Amino acid sequence: MAKYILRRLLIFIPMLFIVTIVVFTLATLAPGDPLTGQQLDPTIDPAALEERREALGLNDPPPVQYINWLSEVATGNLGDSLYFSGRTVQDLIWSRLPNTVYLAVFSLFITLVIGLPLGIYAARKQYTAADYFVTTFGFFGLAVPNFFFALLAVYFFSFQLGWFPAQGTQSSASISGLAEFLDRLHHLILPGLTLGLASVAIYMRYIRSEMLDVLSSDFVRTARAKGMTKGTVVYKHTLRNATIPIITLLGFEFGTLVSGAVVTEAVFNFPGIGQLFLTGIQNRDFPLIMGINLLIGVTILVGNLLADIMYAVVDPRIRYD
Amino acid sequence: MADDVLLEVNQLKTYFYMGGNVAKAVDGVDFTIKKGKTLAIVGESGSGKSMTSLSIMQLVPGPTGKIVDGAVKLSGKDLLKLSDKQMEKVRGNEIGMVFQEPMTSLNPVFTVGTQIKEPLMKHRGLSKSQAFQKGVELLKLVGFPRAEDTMKEFPHQLSGGMRQRVMIAIAMSCDPKLLIADEPTTALDVTIQAQILDLMKKVQKEFDSSILLITHDLGVVAEMADDIIVMYGGQVVEQATRRQLLKTPKHPYTVGCWKVCLA
């Protein structure tokens, strides 16, 4: 097992290199450069722009630019943001990352706590009214776009009922301790539910079909023939075998949770990575875009690594040495 | 009911309801199994042999399959009248079962030990360590020399024949009165088949239990059975002792079967 993890970590390094190449290439392939927008401004002298280009190294051939960028990245410096003047990219990311992580953890919690029990329930009651109801609810959840659900949530629960704040992460910076935690949680509920409920349907349908598959397998019949209770059969013998696709899903989700909340964060004016990413794109802030892309790439790699390790933990047949 | 009868099946009917159609998988089956004896059910695929055995265990695959009528009396107690909870105490405890597919019949994510300990802890109320000891004994009985190590192994580390031995050990773990073996040797190669049949005879002697053997292999029947019933289309077409049936089969279907077998 240790050998396997070590080997996976070694594979991690070349993959990380490939991620940096892709991130850099995509940024260079995009039309224009960080100064393109300013060319339209008649008060700026084109010669001065050209001078800045030269100073920023934007006229160097791409491989040289890549090496320069990479050597800075290797030391932990992701560069200066062009839009947020005077701030480094890593500084901006660090200031937003906690909010996004809270949101991600909370929404994932919602997804799992609602999605998995519903899916298991639907599988146990296959072809009953309850199963049809849950499945229909699942399609509904898949069909309603995230932003629409977010807007509805803001309209009903913030404006009409006034139960939850419509935006932000805190109502006041002066509180601390438990009060601060509860206040943050209060702000998290609407965006967290929006984000979490969107994935509920996916997890629910996965676990339902997987449970049905496993429930009809021979070893489940053996467990029943041994006189095991329904609970033991479902939660011990079936569930563990049915979690493997869920682990795959979680591995992917891990990366998208950091990046995937762009729309939700925008609707709730939630200062997280997604919103920062959007600002970066709108303002051609190349260092910021590349920094966040790199972060997303790394989280996806880490997510897959964790998923691979989890496979081996859950299923003893999976041994990679 | 006579004293020496262990299991009595009366007019058992198990139907499958699919889209308005009714498939009568078991259609009015009667038979009895005597204590310490082996009854073989023979018949072609789809004749209802397996469904008969699953009906006795009440493991008919739902929700389409249903036991619609009949009685299954184990030592005089009608199993079909028991609640789900009561039936859980019969399965694995009073009736053990071995299935056709040893490769898929054990749970791949649990060790052999975990799976053999489960019925012992549930039905016999043994502690974990007692169940482990008993498990080791059982595995030794079914022919695992290094039983302590085998307890810690996963099913995928064992061959098909070894897995079927484990299944027999699990089925016999709680000293059941009846062992149902649903084509226990069909998926195994010939030499392993002989070993498994010998093993079943051995445990039958050891535990003084009756066996309900389901098979389409007449060689196995000739080797193992005391009594034989022949099933066709969900019904029993002939019932006799082994000697009678092998020497003077009466029903034309049985005669046909024998001809095919001897050809």
Q: Report residue B2's pLDDT band, with 50, 70 and 90 as the boundaries.
A: low
Instruction: Average the pLDDT over B66-92 and give the result.
Output: 93
Q: What is the pLDDT of residue A24?
A: 87
C-beta atoms of A316 and B109 within 8 A:
yes
Condensed to tens digits (0 to 9), the pLDDT of residues B185-229 reads 888 888 888 888 888 898 899 888 999 999 888 888 888 999 999
pLDDT digits (tens, 9 = 90+) for A130-164: 889 988 888 888 888 888 888 888 888 888 888 88
For residue B56 the two structure tokens come to: 């006795």
Q: Which CATH number is B5-262 given?
A: 3.40.50.300
**Mean pLDDT across A102-126:** 89
**pLDDT tens digits, A21-42:** 988 888 888 777 777 766 677 7
Q: What is the pLDDT of residue B58?
A: 94
Q: Is residue A260 part of a domain?
A: yes
What is the SS3 assignment for chain A? CHHHHHHHHHHHHHHHHHHHHHHHHHHHHCCCCCCHHHHHCCCCCHHHHHHHHHHHCCCCCHHHHHHHHHHHHHCCCCCECCCCCCCEHHHHHHHHHHHHHHHHHHHHHHHHHHHHHHHHHHHHCCCCHHHHHHHHHHHHHHHCCHHHHHHHHHHHHHHHCCCCCCCCCCCCCCCCHHHHHHHHHHHHHHHHHHHHHHHHHHHHHHHHHHHHHHHCCHHHHHHHHCCCCHHHHHHHHHHHHHCHHHHHHHHHHHHHHHHCCHHHHHHCCCCCHHHHHHHHHHCCCHHHHHHHHHHHHHHHHHHHHHHHHHHHHHCCCCCCC
Contacts with A232 from chain B: Cβ below 8 Å: 118
Q: How many domains does chain A have?
A: 1
Please state, rounded to an integer, the average pLDDT across all residues of chain A.
84
Retrieve residue A278's tokens.
């959007």
Domain ranges (residues) in chain B: 5-262
In a domain, A237, yes or no: yes
Does the residue A157 lie in any domain? yes
Domain extent for A270 = 89-314
Say yes or no: ipTM exceeds 0.95: no
Give domain status of residue A239, yes or no: yes
Residue A311 pLDDT > 90:
no
CATH code (residue A193):
1.10.3720.10
A321 belongs to a structural domain: no
What percentage of chain A has pLDDT greater than the value 70?
A: 97
pLDDT tens by residue, A62-90: 888 888 888 888 888 888 887 888 888 88
Q: Does residue A77 fall inside a structural domain?
A: no
Q: Establish if B86 touches chain A: CB-CB under 8 angstroms.
A: no
Tell whether the model's pLDDT for residue A321 goes beyond 70: no
Best of B100, B105, B106, B177 to substitute, by most chain A Cβ atoms within 10 angstroms, is B105
Burial category of A259 from C-beta neighbours within 10 Å (exposed 0-12, middle 13-18, buried 19 and up): buried
pLDDT digits (tens, 9 = 90+) for A240-278: 999 888 888 888 887 777 776 788 888 888 888 888 888
Looking at the domain assignment, is residue A30 inside a domain? Answer: no
B residues 101-160 near A, CB within 8 Å?
101, 104-110, 118-119, 122-123, 154, 156
Residue A320 has a pLDDT of: 55
